[in-house]
Structure 1
Amino acid sequence: MAAGGRSQKHGVGYFDVDLWGARIDDSSGGVSHLRLNAYARKNTPERPFAVANDYIASSLGIATGLPVPPGTLVGVYGGGYNYASLAFGDRGDRPPPIILPKFCEERPWEACGIIAFDQWIHNTDRHDGNIGYLPDFAVAVFDHDLSLLNESRDSTAALALLGQSQDTPVKYHCLPTHLKDVSHFSEWFERIASVTRREIRRAVATTHSAELLTADLRDALIAFLEHRQTRIGSFIERTRDQYQKVDSWTLDIKEVDSGS
């Protein structure tokens, strides 16, 4: 229960929905046509894999049960694809940056999930501006364009990065120094391990079909994700010195890290 006896909700919260002028399709059982506010990410010369990174990571985050706003690839005029995700906020307003100690104190379950997930996708860019938090209502985790292939400028550099980082933990995540309760990690290890190879391959193959990745990079990225999927416990163990507020370290790596 939240403070004041209010129960916490674990959904992804409010989205900006414009009902003005909405048309109801009576033939579809009361289904309405709505205008939704969304953010669209595009590739840039500096980040040519931003769309693939965000789509793949967000798809896998949703598959684990992490509160990632729904999104998809959308074709754009003139060719190519953007990654579009629903805008999270209270009545259309984007939440302010979260207060990290407060978030970890009030939402340790989500905090553990974010850390574990970012270790899986090697996300080195988690910060207070890409975790949305509406106290006593919901959490949203977004902006994954700097995970996976990060800022690699071409396929050769991206392949090299995957090889270099496949066994590298994320060392300077924004949440561990504020987290007091690590008891939820085991559930998130199981959730991530339960994502099937078919789902991993579907997410990555979709970006290849959209010509966002070469075939070689597609195959390397699938292998990268499958390799890291069961090693998250060991990554967290190797960054244990950052969990300075944890009194009882309860992780059993032999049980949760079957891939090491």
Structure 2
Amino acid sequence: MGYFDVALWGARIEDSSGGVSHLRLNAYARKNTAERPFAVVNDFIASSLGIAAGLPVPPGTLVGVYGGGYNYASLAFGDRGDKPPPVIPPRFCEERPWEACGIIAFDHWIHNTDRHDRNIGHLPEVAVAVFDHDLSLLNETKSSEEALSLLAQSRDVPVKHHFLPPHLKDVSHFAEWFERIASVTRREIRRAAVAAHSAELVSAELRDALVAFLEHRQTRIGSFIEQTRDQYQNVDSWTLDIEEVDSDS
């Protein structure tokens, strides 16, 4: 039982020297489809950067599949193999305001327009998990040309209808998340984009555009949230500090 409660369906433990064992862990694998040809790169880059920022994203990586290509595989979050039930937004924001602020800030960074009650896992006695980022970044674009155009058009666009803000009462945690996200280095952002390019998931031009897009939005999250302030109907005291943090370090 770790921070992410990994379901050990059919677990097989083999004795090995030095106390090392082999385990079969439950995981989910995302693949590209005709409708979402950039689903893998979206999920991989976004999840990698979520982990770098300290968001509770299940560990994952690119995995080569038989016949060629890559999937994005991530450890499953749940209690003994059971998927957690959908979160109840008012309860989640009341009990987990720190995570709620982090999820909102992160989704503005990666321009994730598909956050809902089934891609946040919340087990009150265990932890929180945030997953399924296939509709962030390049969304459902079908070609590199469409993807480049989307990045240019959404460069300064906030996430306008996130499902958590109407239920949030405490925005005091945003400042920490602005700093956390701003602290993710250019090297880390580029590392994820380069890995996607090396796996032939994106072109070199799209790789560089993704890096530029993420660096541009990285220190503007406070401004995005300020632009959507009308969604925070339950916040009595608006203490949001939108001073941009220098990310040139």
Shorter-normalised TM-score: what interval?
over 0.9
Match of 1:181 among 170, 179, 183: 170
The aligned residue for residue 17 of structure 1 is 8
Letter in 1 for 2:7: D
2:107 is the alignment partner of 1:107:
no
The residue identity in structure 1 corresponding to 2:201 is L
Deviation of the 1:73 alpha carbon? 0.3
Amino acid at match of 1:25: S
Structure 1 match to 2:215: 226
What does 1:25-44 align with in structure 2 at a 5 Å threshold? 25-26=16-17, 29-44=18-33
Q: Does structure 2 retain, via aligned residues, the 8 Å contact 1:124–1:146? A: yes
Contact 2:158 / 2:228 at 8 angstroms: preserved in 1? yes
Q: Spell out the pairing of 1:24-173 with structure 2 (5 A cutoff).
A: 24-26=15-17, 29-173=18-162
Count of aligned residue pairs for this structure pair: 246
Residues 185-196 of structure 1: matches in 2 within 5 Å? 185-196=174-185
Higher strand share: 1
Paired residues of 2:182 and 2:246 also in contact (CA < 8 A): no
Letter of the 2:8 counterpart: V
Using the alignment, how far apart are the partners of 1:156 and 1:19 within structure 2? 44
Deviations 1:103-133 (A, max 9, x none): 0000000000000000000000000000000
Q: TM-score by structure 1 length?
A: 0.92
Task: Kindly indicate whether the alpha-carbon contact (under 8 Å) linking 1:49 and 1:212 is maintained by their aligned counterparts in 2.
Answer: yes
Q: AA paired with 2:46?
A: A
Counting aligned pairs with the same residue, the percent is 78
Q: CA RMSD in A?
A: 1.2
**Could you tell me how far apart the structure 2 residues matched to 1:218 and 1:41 are?**
20
The structural deviation recorded for 1:22 is 1.3
CA offset at residue 256 of structure 1? 3.6
Alignment correspondent of 2:230:
241
Give secondary structure in 2 for the equivalent of 1:24. coil
CA displacement at 1:25 relative to structure 2: 1.1
Offset of 1:209 from its aligned partner?
0.2
The gaps in structure 1 that reach 5 residues or longer are 1-10
Q: Stretches of 4+ moved more than 6 A in 1?
A: none
Q: Secondary structure at the match of 2:46?
A: helix
* TM-score w.r.t. length of structure 2: 0.96
Segments of 5+ residues of structure 2 without an aligned counterpart are: none
Amino acid at match of 1:208: H
